Amino acid sequence: MTTHMYLVKGSLPYNPAFRIDNLNNLNWSIDTPVTPMPLPEDTHEENILVKMEGNTAKMDLSWTLTDSSNFGVLSRGGDEVYSFAEGIPLDVYEQINKFKEEMVPISIGDGYKIIITDGEHKEVMMDEGTISNMSFSVSGGSPIVWNVSCAFYVGNVVAILEADIPPAPTNVVASSPSAINNLGRVTFVVTAYDGYASEPTGDTEIKGVAYKYKRTDKKGTWSEPQTNAQTSSPITYTITGLDKTGATANDPATYRVKVAQYNNNNGDASQYYWKYAKTSSGATDITIT
Amino acid sequence: MSNVKAVIIRRDSNGNITNRVMTTPKSANVVQEGLRASDNMTMTLSAEHNVAVGDEIYYIQDNLDTASLKAVWNFYGSFRDESGYEHDDVYTAPYTLPTCGLVGYYGVNDSEIDWKHKGYYKFYINSSQGGVVIEKKYKNNNINSDGSPKSGAVPVIDMSADFDMIFEFKANSNHSNYQHQTLFDNYDHSTSSGTGLKVQINPLSSTITITADDGTTEKVMVSSVATYDIVSFLRIKREDGVFKLYHNGTEKSLTNSTHSGNLNNNKNMHLFKEYNESTSSWVTSPDTGFWGVAIQFRLYTGVLHDSEVKKLQISKPVNTTMKFGGKIWKIDDNKNIKKLSCSSHAKELLGTNISSNTFNSQISTTFAYGAKRENNRYFNPDTSTVNARPQMEHIIEDILKYVDDGVYAYFPQEPSTSFYGDFFAEGTLLDILKVMMVVDTDSHMFVVTPRKVLFIMQEISSHHVINNDKYNIINTGKDDTGTTNSIFISGRKGKYTHSQAVADSNTRYTWSNPNNLLILQNGYYVTPVIERVVSVMRSNDSGAVTSITGTTVFNITSLHNKIISLALINGTPMTSTQLTALQTDIDDGDSTHFIAAVSGSGNVLTAYDASQATEIFGEQNVTASNTTSQSTYSNNTYQINPDNSIIFWNQDDATATNPIHAYVVTYEYSYTYFKSSSYGGSQGSGSLWWSTTQHQRFDTSISENGLYHRNLYVPQLVNGLDVYLFANRYIIDNNSMNTRYEATSGSLVNSLTVGMKVRYTDSDGATSEKVVRSIEYSYPQIQTIIELGEYLFSGFDVEKQTVDSLRGLDSVSAGASRY
């Protein structure tokens, strides 16, 4: 299987996007600190492990820089297939300059992704985060081979923009109606955010709900946000055409769905406040029937 | 490019700038505390910056790049610029708001501006009378000593090349008389053809007109844009000599859009009305005044990227772009960085000690509605009416004239109640404001902005939501630091002197009936609590007499400068109430006196001059048991009864006679009460509730929470009713345990200000209103920590006060102690 790896900045279509086609090493690590609190006169099995800090995931990757057209634009079609438009050919030094001037983080709001696609150019892995270190090295013994190493922290890059967008819905209840033509469906009922003293009007008026979904019983990535213009509450909507390939009665397909409310500003802000849809029993994994 | 900016300014003794540093700080930590304590900031700069202790320092934090920002007016309590360049409205100290017909703040209801801006306190402007003159600033402070620009000086708002302008507003009138409503006027009429630029809207015909003139060529550009009754986000930019206009994010076509000339001039700018420099008057024919709500105006040199402007357009509203203003009081210089410790202007203002010395430059003044101040005592000079009672907002307005050379801007509308009695401006200004906030029934937001604006208004609910979407919220649990369910309060002990005439008749060797001593206050007669009798004068029945004939109205000019010991109406002695009213009119210098009790004509008012009286003295051994004994007293004497009435012993007159005597009683009293009032208890017990020393408790809270007692000393209040109201409202506001929340956001939350009332939704989805009590910004960590408090807990937040300004009962200022 041919895979491709991209380091991209910003949002779709990603520009600049750098295609890493000469990988030396990739290391994905997660740090999950736990503090032991062994009790006196007790066995090691009784040690109390306290998880006081959250996890930190980090990717270290390195590649060899060569003259190439690897600085380009990465876009994604409606069929979830990525396409990479190569840029103009650049030599090594021009690429280093481009990294220096355009790629490295400047603003705190600069967000990055590392995307790995399969032979069909579909996403198999994606992490969001930011670059914490980037180095370019060349040795006297091999003066024309430049190696690049990059340390990448996974996480949500804080949005400096304080967009005037709606809060997450108060509640989202999901269920799965019967599949049609072996394509699954998920219906969600949204109770809109009900904490307002009066409903937003004007520029802030809520236009409907946005949603995205991901298959969880097998490899899946989040779909791009889609919208449905409804304002009556509760809002009911059914997602159709969900792939359930490989699912059986004993091993059914499951999906997760996130729902947000949107107004005129969400699109410009590229920001939503999501809430997981849960089944009536409180599960976030929705079994597709 | 940075979203934050530090501005450090040094001035000489004349206030002229001698050094200005504008830079991006390496770090900043700003804490805004509102009413609870003073704002403070620590900031680090790289070491090469020329800063010194005592320099003014400002911190600006925006949603977009601050480097090219040359002016931003948020219209939050003033017309002062928050860009760091001080493009402020021109004034002569003490500051008064421009007379552009300001009628108040908008944003109470959704419809006043729109849903989004509710609770953001924007000016409503009616510029039929005039606009706002904005002082133009010049690069490198290139001005003469009189403030005029030097030859060749270039304005900070440089319109010689590219520039960008943003106007957010709501036009409220499309009347045919107002078809040239001015947003911005930098157009100099004094040159032959005019030079500069102006932007005017016509809500009736839905057009916007830009006039650009470089002194040679004038271009009038017109765009068809509907602006009436909607919030408009208007952007006008000139890039490479081409003007473009965007309305609510959409580009609109402009006629004659090309003009690359230099539009600079050296005249002041104007907002909301066009000014004619040739005639030195506002342009009124046709009327160029703006009618509507001003939300924000911004001016940039250079052109912003479209995405930046879009960011601003879709962001939540902002009240203040400048987050801190103050002075550097300490610098730690480790040769690599300078760490600056800064205290705010708010600390300087609120910590200013107010006393009679504050008013040395003008010891006495009369201000709004006839209220008066003498030294630091504010009082009602016309005791016959409530109209001239000193109102809180006018007291504050008066005090501010004498603080920091009168530089503070204040919109005198809140707090809006009057004091029943005298108010002594004593203690720090914060103490004074807190006392007012408690006595006033409304809940208020309160803030001192970095641009020296004291802003007090009623709390308005906003639609701003704080929930788990963007914030990490910690319930900090129950907080009893401010809980009070029992309070002992001590006001100022007043000492007033009053003379009063009392007429009485009793036979020889008897005590008279009790005579009420009364004082006219706010149109009502109230009883004084007698501290000491200074003198009692008894008429000898043959003193100087003045007889005046009238109807119900008598000409009393002949009685001026006299103390009347006895007055008869058609031979009948006046009651003490009637006599006091007569004396009051005499003392006021009134030419006539009205007596309702008589009718017709030919009535005779006979007045006895007290100067003909002889002094009588109180007996030392008067007791209840011997007051009927005729042998006990050898002289005419008197006694003050426990209910503050007075009785007279008649020793001199012949046994058979029953003469009328007039007594002038001069006494000192500490406070007054309404004797027949049932206010605060059964009828007649009212005096306890009018005392300047009172105790109140809230039994429900005591049984629920236990006893939380405080002793408070409030020397500003001298009237028992005011003390009662203070205690009552304090205990109502503070009798419960408070719930506090701390909300942390991983971004710089510019849209909140201390005092805003927001909607807080907890993790269970329940929503309630909370007031923002403090905000802490951390840069470059890009973190905002917000403390939210109970809605009612707004008046006298003593959580910090107990630490910051704890004072004992012997303090000269407001204080609190607790056990």
Predicted confidence band of residue A209 (pLDDT cuts 50, 70, 90): very high
Compare all CA atoms of chain B with the CA of A266 and give the residue at the minimum distance. Answer: B314
Q: Please say if the pLDDT value at position B810 is more than 50.
A: no
Could you please report the per-residue DSSP string of B664-732? Answer: EEEEEEEEEE-TT--TTSSTT-GGGGGSSEEEEE-HHHHHHH---EEEEEETTB-SHHHHHHHHHHHHH
pLDDT of residue B278: 92
Mean pLDDT of B618-644: 69
pLDDT of residue B791: 43
Predicted confidence band of residue B560 (pLDDT cuts 50, 70, 90): confident
Query: How many Cβ atoms from other residues are within 10 Å of residue B48's Cβ?
Result: 8
Element housing A17 (H / E): strand A14-20
Mean pLDDT of B665-694: 71
| B495-525 tens-digit pLDDT | 898 888 787 878 888 888 899 898 888 888 8
Contact, B605 vs B594, CB < 8 A?
A: no
Tokens found for residue B430: 């914060």
Mean pLDDT of A114-139: 86
Predicted confidence band of residue B234 (pLDDT cuts 50, 70, 90): very high
Question: Which residues of chain B lie closer than 8 angstroms to A273, CB-CB?
Answer: 469-470
Mean pLDDT of A94-110: 77
Compare all CA atoms of chain B with the CA of A166 and give the residue at the minimum distance. Answer: B465
pLDDT of residue B375: 94
Q: What is the ipTM of this complex?
A: 0.75
Mean pLDDT of A4-27: 86
Q: Please say if the pLDDT value at position B657 is more than 80.
A: no
* Residue contacts between A and B (CB atoms, under 8 Å): 87
Distance from CA of B308 to the nearest CA of A (A): 10
Distance from CA of B207 to the nearest CA of A (A): 21
Mean pLDDT of A206-221: 87
| B74-113 tens-digit pLDDT | 999 899 999 999 999 999 989 998 888 666 677 777 788 8
pLDDT of residue A1: 64
Question: What distance in Å separates the CA atoms of residue B776 and residue B34, rounded to the nearest whole number?
Answer: 12
Q: What percent of chain B has pLDDT over 70?
A: 90
Distance from CA of B767 to the nearest CA of A (A): 5
- At residue B411, the 3 state secondary structure works out as coil
Question: Which residues of chain B lie closer than 8 angstroms to A161, CB-CB?
Answer: 63, 311, 314-315, 747
Query: Is there a contact between A194 and B767 if contact means CB atoms under 8 Å apart?
Result: yes
pLDDT of residue B689: 66
Query: Is there a contact between B759 and A197 if contact means CB atoms under 8 Å apart?
Result: yes
Nearest to B751 among A108, A162, A204 (CB): A162
Query: Is there a contact between B465 and A158 if contact means CB atoms under 8 Å apart?
Result: no
pLDDT of residue B629: 52
Contact, B511 vs B628, CB < 8 A?
A: yes
Compare all CA atoms of chain A with the CA of B232 and give the residue at the minimum distance. Answer: A203
Residues of B within an 8 Å Cβ radius of A: 1, 3, 63, 110, 114-116, 231, 248, 310-311, 314-317, 461, 463, 465, 467, 469-470, 746-751, 759, 761, 765, 767, 780, 782
pLDDT of residue A57: 87
Nearest to A162 among B116, B248, B749 (CB): B749
User: For the whole model, what pTM was predicted?
Assistant: 0.81
Question: Which residues of chain B lie closer than 8 angstroms to A106, CB-CB?
Answer: 1
| B527-553 tens-digit pLDDT | 898 999 988 888 765 445 778 888 889
Mean pLDDT of B374-390: 90
Mean pLDDT of B679-706: 76
Q: Please say if the pLDDT value at position B169 is more than 60.
A: yes
Mean pLDDT of B453-477: 87
| B295-319 tens-digit pLDDT | 999 999 999 988 889 889 999 999 9
More confident residue, B611 or B522: B522
Compare all CA atoms of chain A with the CA of B745 and give the residue at the minimum distance. Answer: A158
Mean pLDDT of A197-201: 89
More confident residue, B95 or B813: B95
Question: Which residues of chain A lie closer than 8 angstroms to B115, CB-CB?
Answer: 198, 200-202, 204-205
Distance from CA of A203 to the nearest CA of B (A): 8
Predicted confidence band of residue B658 (pLDDT cuts 50, 70, 90): low
Predicted confidence band of residue B796 (pLDDT cuts 50, 70, 90): very low
Mean pLDDT of B139-163: 90
Question: What distance in Å separates the CA atoms of residue B237 and residue B243, rounded to the nearest whole number?
Answer: 6
Q: Identify the burial level of A155 via C-beta atoms within 10 angstroms of its C-beta, where 0-12 means exposed, 13-18 middle and 19 or more buried.
A: middle
Residues 204-263 (A) with a CB less than 8 A from some CB of B: 204-205
Q: Which of A81-85, A241-245, B356-360 has the highest mean pLDDT?
A: B356-360
Taking the Cβ of residue A271 and every Cβ of chain B, the question of whether any pair is shorter than 8 Å is answered with no
Question: What distance in Å separates the CA atoms of residue B609 and residue B564, rounded to the nearest whole number?
Answer: 5
Q: Please say if the pLDDT value at position B192 is more than 90.
A: no
- Ordered alpha helix ranges (H), B563-675: 576-588
Q: Please say if the pLDDT value at position B189 is more than 60.
A: yes
Predicted confidence band of residue B800 (pLDDT cuts 50, 70, 90): very low
pLDDT of residue B807: 39
Backbone angles phi, psi at A217, to 5 degrees: -80, -15
| A69-91 tens-digit pLDDT | 889 999 888 677 889 999 899 89
Question: Which residues of chain A lie closer than 8 angstroms to B469, CB-CB?
Answer: 167-168, 273
Provide the mean pLDDT of chain B: 86
Question: Which residues of chain A lie closer than 8 angstroms to B315, CB-CB?
Answer: 161-164
Question: Which residues of chain B lie closer than 8 angstroms to A205, CB-CB?
Answer: 115
Compare all CA atoms of chain A with the CA of B761 and give the residue at the minimum distance. Answer: A195
Query: Is there a contact between B747 and A167 if contact means CB atoms under 8 Å apart?
Result: no
Q: Please say if the pLDDT value at position B815 is more than 70.
A: no
Query: Is there a contact between B463 and A197 if contact means CB atoms under 8 Å apart?
Result: yes
Question: What distance in Å separates the CA atoms of residue B201 and residue B228, rounded to the nearest whole number?
Answer: 9
Tokens found for residue B169: 């507003």
Q: What percent of chain B has pLDDT over 90?
A: 47
Mean pLDDT of A7-28: 86
| B32-81 tens-digit pLDDT | 886 666 788 999 999 889 999 999 999 999 988 898 999 999 999 899 99
**Strand pairing partners for B538?**
B614, B663
Mean pLDDT of A136-153: 87
Nearest to B463 among A162, A196, A268 (CB): A196
| B414-449 tens-digit pLDDT | 898 999 899 999 999 988 998 998 899 888 888 889
Distance from CA of A273 to the nearest CA of B (A): 6
Q: Please say if the pLDDT value at position B813 is more than 60.
A: no
Question: Which residues of chain B lie closer than 8 angstroms to A159, CB-CB?
Answer: 747
Query: How many Cβ atoms from other residues are within 10 Å of residue B624's Cβ?
Result: 9
Mean pLDDT of B715-721: 91
Query: How many Cβ atoms from other residues are within 10 Å of residue A29's Cβ?
Result: 10
Predicted confidence band of residue B238 (pLDDT cuts 50, 70, 90): very high
